[in-house]
Chain A
Amino acid sequence: MDVNDKIHAQLVKAGVRLAASLPDDWVNTLINKISAGNQIRHVSVGREAETIAVCAGAFFGGVRSVAIFGNTGLLTCTGEMATLCLRHAIPVFCIVSGRGSIDDHKVYQEVQGRRTIPLLQAYDYPFKILDKEEEIEDIPNAYEWHRLQKRPFILFLTKKLLGTNA
């Protein structure tokens, strides 16, 4: 069982039955595993903010969900996360690639690496950087905790954890 299989399994264990996503090459393997499986329904969207809206809507249908996308998308949708999720106190569990880290040398990820965390802190969106495989089993705990926070929560997956060459 590889890292993405373990994340998938822990999401299922947390009760997640719906995933909305937009691709980023660090999280595509996870998206593909979810899409290929039959335990979590997968919804492809055209813009990252839509993943937040899909999950917020599913919340009111009693279905646990996850939004999956890249760090660039997180920067694009923090305002909509505020006006929808902070305004109405709706929890949304997000899994986001931790692009722009010191081991990510893509020039188009540089700003994300420097500015994402300060932006999350400004909005008071809680987050956790997941870079150790043994911490994957904390996902169900994190899921319960984010519901209590009543706002978006971001779980960053690192390059070290994913072992990606992208």
Chain B
Amino acid sequence: MKANECMQVLAKNRGDAVVVCALGMAANEWWAVTKSEDSFYMHGGMGLASTFALGLAIAIPDTPVWVINSDGGLCMNTGTLLTEAGQQQRNMKHFVVDNQCYQTVETMPMVNQDGADYTVMARGAGFQRAITIDNLADLDRKMPEIVAAPGPYFIRLRVEAEPDYQRTPPATYEGPELKYRFGRAMEKKLGIKVFGPRGF
């Protein structure tokens, strides 16, 4: 299955979830499918998307929080699985888009490309629910159960590497603007205050 097709299935099942996207191809595909402003597209901090999402999930415990992570990001900081599992945050789901390559940097091969199983790693770190999905039919069938189950839940999405690595462009705004758009979207969606009365 292809990453864009995965994002379409995830978007269809999203409900009220707030989404955090790791820097890279999956974030671009999520933007292409949803144009979602109540999603945060990380421009840096590679390897920290799931921990960022954990902090957000703790802050808004009544709202589902999904992280759409990259395999490269996970490989950069696999210890985040321990941190996440240690908190057992019930409103958090962790999707990893696994294409076994660094797609946005000319599809260079992922470290230990054929030898790693991130789902087994997640179980070893303490996730009670961790699965691999490698075809669209299974993803479509499993999503209602994934949405309904308590977190933490780790879902490895095994997708094809696509050679046209710059096919899907990133979100059309960046850095500080993304902060304010996402923060204001959170205020509007959840009725919370992210920024103070003078905007900071």
Contacts and interface: CB of A to CB of B under 8 A. Distances in A.
Contacts of B47: 49, 80
Contacts, number: 127
Given A83-B45, A87-B44, A60 B51 contact: no
Interface in B20-69: 20, 40, 42-49, 51-60
Interface stretch (B96-104, B158-166, B179-187): B179-187
A147 B200 contact: yes
Given A58-B58, A59-B194, A83-B45, A46 B79 contact: yes
Contact of A52 (B48, B178, B193): B48
Contact of B53 (A41, A57, A62, A91): A57
Given A60-B186, A88-B176, A89-B175, A18 B45 contact: no
Contacts of B183: 60
B83 A83 contact: no
A102 interface: no
Q: Which bracket fits the contact residues of A?
A: 35 or more
A119 interface: no
Contact of B55 (A20, A49, A91): A20
Query: Which of B48, B86, B187, B190 has the most A CB atoms < 10 Å from its CB?
Result: B48
B87 interface: yes
A50 B86 CA distance: 13
Most chain B CB atoms below 10 A, which of A41, A45, A54, A84: A54
A90 interface: yes
A46 B51 CA distance: 10
**Main secondary structure on B side of the interface with A:** helix
B52 A84 contact: yes
A56 interface: yes
B83 A43 contact: yes
A82 B44 contact: yes
Contact of B176 (A18, A49, A89, A147): A89
B80 A46 contact: yes
**Could you say which of A20, A41, A46, A47 has the most chain B C-beta atoms within 10 Å of its C-beta?**
A46
B48 A49 contact: yes
Given A46-B83, A61-B58, A62-B193, A88 B179 contact: yes
B192 A62 contact: yes
5 contacts: A18-B59, A20-B55, A54-B54, A88-B178, A89-B179
The 8 closest A-B pairs by CB, nearest first: A61-B59, A83-B44, A57-B55, A84-B45, A46-B79, A54-B55, A63-B59, A57-B56
Given A60-B56, A83-B46, A88-B178, 20 more contacts: A43-B87, A44-B86, A50-B48, A53-B51, A54-B51, A56-B45, A57-B54, A58-B55, A60-B182, A60-B186, A61-B190, A62-B59, A80-B44, A80-B47, A84-B52, A88-B42, A88-B175, A89-B179, A90-B179, A150-B200
Interface of B: 20, 40, 42-49, 51-60, 77, 79-80, 82-83, 86-87, 175-176, 178-179, 182-183, 186-187, 190, 192-194, 196, 200
